[in-house]
Amino acid sequence: MIRRILLIIPTLDRCGAEKQLTLLACGLPRDRFEVHVCALTRDGPLRVPLEQAGVPVTVIGKSWKIDPLAYWRLYRHIRRLQPDLVHTWLFAANAYGRQAARQAGVRHVVAGERCVDPWKRWHELAIDRFLARRSQQLVTNSQGVVDFYGRHGLPADRFLVIPNAVEPAEPSPISRDDLLAEFQLPADTRLIAAVNRLWPQKRVKDLIWAADLLKVARDDTHLLIIGDGPQRWRLQRYRDQIEIADRVHFLGERNDVSRMMPHLDCLWLGSEYEGQSNAILEAMAAGVPVVATDIPGNRDLVLHEQTGFLVRVGDRAGFARWTQYLLDHADVASRCGQAAVNRVRREFSVQMMIDRHVALYQRLLDSPANDGPPQG
């Protein structure tokens, strides 16, 4: 019997959870599951690969933080679709989707908590605690997320950790020389990149500071900041104030990171909290050494002095020091890069991630819901 699965997420932007949902939706076996995706707020660029894979996409059009009409449209959509299982992703979809699914009579509900979320206020955590009791399973990508929510009253025994996944890296369609020429950089440039949303959590200012420290030690490093967000103008102003615009380049949102990644000498991630970084996984898959903050999530991916290096949150000198070490020791950089590729293939393949979700869905669908009768 083919079972109908509905995945609900706030948007289809090119972000971490959205990438993982897309990999999952496109890869679930069609002889066992009929897959549908619902974007609660808006769609985005990831709608294209979903539709190319034959996955129907519905956009609800939530406009306000509290939007009763959007909730009603979501409820009606679920009632019409009659999925066997609903899997929600991220806070807004978790809040709207779980309640609407229960009210629509769905017996099997899974919720995805994808990140450590210190930004949540008491009432948002209260919603999480209430709806956790109405979820058969809570799925996350990192033990650090389990620990965070356990401290805030969610039942740790309902969490299942399924790590993020990444596709094997493809060879870049352009040469390194062509890439450097495209950005009008010298032929001897050593490329460092930060790939993330420009948001306070990511602490990109620390990375600009680290780039300035690195400039004192050598004259060939350039930092590419890939991504966009509300902090961009502040970060650009800071870069200009410390007179390092010749070494730090804001590239904005890009849909071609995969062609740049193999040519990087190092990837930086300065976040103060994470779930599990897709940027780190993509760098590891491409054989690029990583220097990242020593936090849960990053620690799951980067093995210190094996696939890269971990530094304290805010340790700008640490970023500069370990990057200098990698650039000065090509053998170490090569060894870290190859160890990263091997680790991704062994522990973070897309097929492993899909298989773990298949096992979860099948287990839940083959057993009765365990948290009371459906509501509505």
pLDDT in tens, 204-218: 999 999 999 999 999
Cross-strand pairs, 250: 225
- pLDDT at residue 376 tops 50: no
Closest to 120 in 3D by CA, of 201, 17, 197: 201
Domain that holds residue 311: 176-347
Q: How many domains does the chain have?
A: 2
Residue 370 has pLDDT above 70, yes or no: no
Percentage, residues of the chain above pLDDT 90: 95
What is the token pair recorded at 194?
Answer: 């930060």
* Structure confidence at residue 367 as a pLDDT band (50, 70, 90): confident
Nearest-CA neighbor of 120 among 159, 158, 90? 90
Segment 71-87 shows an average pLDDT of 98
Structural tokens at position 112: 């995805």
- Decide: helix, strand or coil at residue 44: coil
Conformational region of residue 190, where left means phi above 0, alpha means psi within -120 to 50, and beta covers everything else: beta
- SS3 state of residue 310: strand
- Whether residue 373 lies inside any domain: the answer is no
User: Hey, CA dihedral for 157, 367, 2, 75, is it positive or negative?
Assistant: negative
For residue 312, what is the domain's CATH number?
Answer: 3.40.50.2000
The model's pLDDT over 258-287, given as tens digits with 9 standing for 90+, comes to 999 999 999 999 999 999 999 999 999 999
* Amino acid identity at 214: L
Give the residue from 264, 310, 254 showing the smallest Cα distance to 285: 264
Q: Tell me, yes or no, whether 233 and 334 share the same domain.
A: yes
Task: Supply the pLDDT for residue 84.
Answer: 98
Amino acid found at 255: N
DSSP, collapsed to helix, strand or coil, labels residue 164 as coil
- pLDDT at site 252: 95
State residue 368's pLDDT score.
76
Q: Residue 376: inside a domain, yes or no?
A: no
| Residue 41 belongs to a domain | yes
Residues 125 and 187 in one domain: no
**Same domain for 40 and 14:** yes
Arithmetic mean of pLDDT over the chain: 95
- Judged by DSSP in three states, 65 sits in coil
Check whether residue 93 and residue 183 sit in a common domain: no
Do 359 and 270 sit in the same domain of this protein? no
Query: What global pTM score does this model have?
Result: 0.92
> Is residue 374 a part of any domain in this protein?
no
**Same-domain check for residues 138 and 241:** no
Give the pLDDT score at 351: 97
Q: What is the pLDDT of residue 126?
A: 96
373 confidence band (pLDDT: 50, 70, 90): very low
Q: Are residues 89 and 237 in the same domain?
A: no
Residue 56 within a domain: yes
339 lies in the same domain as 284? yes
pLDDT at 134: 85
What confidence tens digit (pLDDT) does each residue in 26-63 have? 999 999 999 999 999 999 999 999 999 999 999 999 99
Quick check: 17 and 7 in contact, CB under 8 A? Answer: no
Q: Is 372 inside a domain boundary?
A: no
- Indicate whether 313 belongs to any domain: yes
Query: Are 106 and 213 found together in one domain?
Result: no
pLDDT at 375 over 70: no
Q: Are residues 278 and 321 in the same domain?
A: yes
With respect to residue 7, please indicate whether it lies within any of the assigned structural domains: yes
Q: What does the pLDDT look like over 153-207, one tens digit per residue?
A: 999 999 999 999 999 999 999 999 999 999 999 999 999 999 999 999 999 999 9
- Shared domain check, 341 and 214: yes
Least confident of 50-64, 119-133, 312-326, 359-373: 359-373
pLDDT bucket at 369, cuts 50 / 70 / 90: low
Are 354 and 337 in a shared domain? no
